[in-house]
Amino acid sequence: MSQLPFFYIPDDASGQEITLGEDTSRHVIQVLRMKTGEQLNLTDGQGQLITASITFEHKKHCKVVVVNRSNEPEVQPRTSIAISLLKNPSRFEWFLEKATEIGVREIIPLLTSRTEKEKFRADRMQTICISAMLQSRQCWLPVLYQPLSLDQVIHEASQPLKFIAHCEDRPRERLWQQDRSQDMLLLIGPEGDFTTAEIDQALDAGFIPVTLGNTRLRTETAGISGALQLSLR
């Protein structure tokens, strides 16, 4: 992918001419001071990569014409992380940013019995994911769910490979040694870990108990460690 300026277009971009949103137009025209004829890259976050040329300079509704359109293949298999919300939202936001950069395809904010839930600011969280996607120059935006209960995630999980990372002193397998050839879901608990009953519930539903390493990790660090281990090819 060329190093042209890169922007997200959430609306329909199927036409030959595209009108950029107000925020993107302002950045293109006022911040970058781009001119008619200059090129930029656009993505819809669903794999589409568009190279376009500016045809009308306007700080609120800049217009571009498509020069080239292609589709970036989605990385397979897909990695999903269900991770407990955190009392400190900045730590959860840090996880979102890094997980997006790594290429996690689904992020599920998890509600457990020990989750210290703060208000979930969906718009802000989505903006963080978009920024991380663009910064890492990807064309696939992770699916960010509304917070779901652990019970719901366990019973609705459709991934062939399902893991739960916990810290209890009972048999666990090393995550990085597991089969990673199919779509995967990893559960990450809150500070204080999952309860024994929650772990048993996941195991009864076919989740494999795993360890992420020899040290005890904070929730957001565990999420990133798990994402990295699952992304190994």
Measure Cα distances from 214 to 16, 61, 210, 211, 217 in Å.
Answer: 54, 53, 12, 8, 9
193: pLDDT strictly greater than 80? yes
pLDDT for res 12: 74
* Res 2: pLDDT: 56
Is the model's pLDDT at 232 over the cut of 60?
Answer: yes
Q: What average pLDDT does the segment 131-146 reach?
A: 97
Residue 119 CB contacts under 8 Å (≥ 6 apart), including other chains? none
| Res 13: pLDDT | 77
| 8-state DSSP, 85 | -
Domains of the chain: 6-71 (2.40.240.20), 79-231 (3.40.1280.10)
Cα separation, 190 vs 208, in Å, equals 18
The pLDDT, as a whole number, for residue 61 is 93
- Of 212, 174, 206, 180, residue with least CA distance to 193: 212
* pLDDT higher than threshold 70 for residue 98: yes
Q: Given pLDDT bands bounded at 50, 70 and 90, which one contains residue 175?
A: very high
Over residues 202-226, the mean pLDDT reads 96
Mean pLDDT computed over every residue of the chain: 95
